[in-house]
Structure 1
Amino acid sequence: MLKKWSFCRTAFQKFSTNVSKPKTSQMPPLSQYSRKNNQREPNAIFVRGAKASRGSENISAYFRAAAGVSNDIGLSKARMLENKHFKSLTTIPYTPFPARNAHISKYLDSIAKSYRKQWNRSENELQIKTDALIEEAREEDPLFPILEPELDERVRKALRKLTNSHTPKINTVPGKPEFEYLSNAIRYLTSQRTICLCVDVEAFERNTNVVTEIGISIYDPRESQFSTVPILRTYHLIVAESLKMRNGKFVCDLKDCFLKGESYVMSLSNCVNFIQTLINYYMVTETAAERTWERAFVGHNVKGDLKWLSSIGVQIPRNIDYNLNQTSGDQSLRVLDTERLFKISYGSKGSSLGKILRLFEVPHAFLHNAGNDAYYTLKLLLHMCDIQYRKLLGMDDFYGVAAKIEMWAKRDAIEARILPLSYVNAAIEFTDPNIKKKTVHQTEFGGCVWVDDPIASLTGQKVKI
């Protein structure tokens, strides 16, 4: 997710000098900070249990490590089955719930009628606007051509602009692939039959072939059958060979701000083994009970993240259904993409992860940390495909949603960005090596731990530090 968001690197520069100072005599006024002090120290991140020497940490060292990665796990899930809990999950078959399935079908039938009605209304409104524009051009020029192919370039340009600015644009009309994708996504999630593995990859902004962080978040309905709150297992991996490579010019660097536990710092080779083990367990089926469940890769533009994983040596199964148009139960792996779901429903405007989370009223923080992004993307998907939640927020009212998106776009253009004071202080303290006493400690997040044995950390064995 490399996007130009330079205010993250120098957030404190955009605050006036009357911001309340932390209670420490070592914190100089914000105005005294120079661009030089804004740069992060390479060793700003603290890794618990880190070894004294891990060799060079630069782009050349990263590519040498990447060339030496040996993925000898293949598609075996044997190591995860050493854990009794994970082994027991493989014996649980999916049990259909007829009442739930009937509820899903009723909802999809109702939105099909609603979408068709809204599409007709939108098309009629666009036609009225088009006719008015052509009539205006005809009044200005009595010799104005009647046939559209003969329209002059000026009018054609005006018509294109009118069409592009028209809202709402409704693509999810019954009978179109977009409606099928949305309907199947809702059916897969609401039926509580789909095991989801969400992935997010962060890369070095100066060379996007260098992977710096990997986030994995997993929703396994077999674990949540009797839970009030869905259980999401979330992992944040930091690649040791790129530990000191910090972003900040084009994208936020929040590598050490994981909110869901401790970040695992490990070699690139161990990262590959860790991810491969998860994919093998959750995405590869072996028993009859396992084959009764659907499985899906999840992400925000997930195809790019899977390509990144493949580039570092992770073996991605080939039976992937990107369009959700295969028959249920055919053992294909589905792809549930939050960016695609949003765009086919509401258009491209406001399609970043943070803006969609805001639109769906999902609290979130510290995006651009791979672990956080994976967690919030999966959480967003659950909200986007929850029938009751969609009804509560009115997400099937395209006119209402379009008005919300437009309102937020206008507010973003005129309102100041608000950051928590703790973030402002942290941005100063962790980028200035002269400040020894910190008022915001890294332990407000999960912190980081060095991991030698990635499989042990997955199967519940003691992590070596």
Structure 2
Amino acid sequence: MNSFVEYKTLKSFPYKFLTKADQHVVSRFFDSNPFHAYGWRIYIYETAVSETILIPWDQIDRFFKEIAAETGIHLFQNFPAKKISYKLDSNEDAPALMGDFKSKEELDELLQQFGTSSGKGPIKKNSTPKSRRNAARRLQAMETWKSQVSSARNHLKYDQQDLENGVKIAFPVFVSIDVEAFEHNHNIITEIGISTLDTAELPPTQENAMTRETVLKAIQDSFGLSNAPLRRSDAVIDLIKSYHFRVSENRNMRNGQFVTDAADYFMFGDSEFVSLTELPKRIGECFRHFDSHGEKRGIVLVGHDVKTDVDFLMAVGYNVGNISGLEVIDTTCMWKAVMGDFQSKGLGSMLHDLSIDFRHLHNAGNDAAYTLQALVKMAEIGLPIEGGNGDNVKPAPNLYRPIWQKAENIQIGFADEDDNRPANILPPKKPIAKYVAEAGSSSEGSGSEHERRWLGLTARQFPETLFCCDFHLFFFSLSKFSHYHLS
């Protein structure tokens, strides 16, 4: 394990740990020119969202001891590394060496070469190296997503390469999970949904398997049809078994303000109330499968943004990391690989685009089942053919609107072609003259007010009568004025 300190943390060290007087004493070490002239070896640590410039702790420790020897400030003598450094696994998380520098100019050259800066964001000029690295990371991520699609196709017997090569085929069990938490406190788990698919029970493969282009065309043709032709994927989906566990202690913790409350609408069987103490046992039973020889079957964990659900399972006492040989497939990653898109897709819109009929999302049992159905459908589609012509057919554009949207939240109006108003926008109210409003507010004028409104509507619908209506309204108002002021 190697310890590193962030470059900007070291630069600001005197201002965080020293008094004003000591800051003045050590300024000859930390000012820009002497600091960079000391000679440093820097590394870069990259993640998906940030880049960090690091300096090894052994260099900094030597630097601190030299300062202590010359200034007598004991803080630098044995300063604990854990206060400003962190450790990285040298095998998996090792930062990349950028180089050595002995001046600010040499540091800037290194940073510009790697397309980054010393903690002030990316350099705008000459950022080609960083763009190339980002592109390389995206391509590497896409290859990982494609491998998940290939694995799903192999397990579901859409690819027959292993059969042709005489390789012994394993029959794992797909286990899809989804967890719902209380919207006001995500530490309170309310529902857990689990769906399983045993690949040993799969229907036989078709001799003339459908191509990617044919499957996508069939998905397009099936939109809006209740009796669309069945495919092998539909027979596979019929084998899915689903379970819905509701936490007994949290049964009164209901969503509905920010997340739809669908806890009572499990579509694939009966819900089961389970106590928190029994919940890990019931979850474990869904993950344990044995073959005819009593040996454990392989498990393929499935989820839509599965990491979040895995963390929730750990919160209730079940750690999927203890399963040996566990394989993980995320349907968000599968969608990106199947459609050649780097944008994530929500579960509801993904189901719509795959022409999967769904009801009552945000029920953990339903979401787990629909996630596994989406995996089956995407495995049937397969990966784009590089250089082929089968990539130009994609599912219809997303027209998905949440089915739980309340009617009172939808503004109702009408389209007026004469005024060229868009639909669903109510027309503005016509202003009412003050003296007419006063007259209409009296009990005697209630009938006249009704007549005035009728006249206003008539004038709007029949513009040719506008002059007559206004003329009639003028004399009506004049008579009211005479009645109140001359009597």
TM-score tier (shorter): 0.3 to 0.5
What TM-score comes out, normalization by structure 1 length? 0.44
Q: Rg: which structure is higher? A: 2
Q: Which has the higher contact order (CA 8 A, sep 6+)?
A: 1
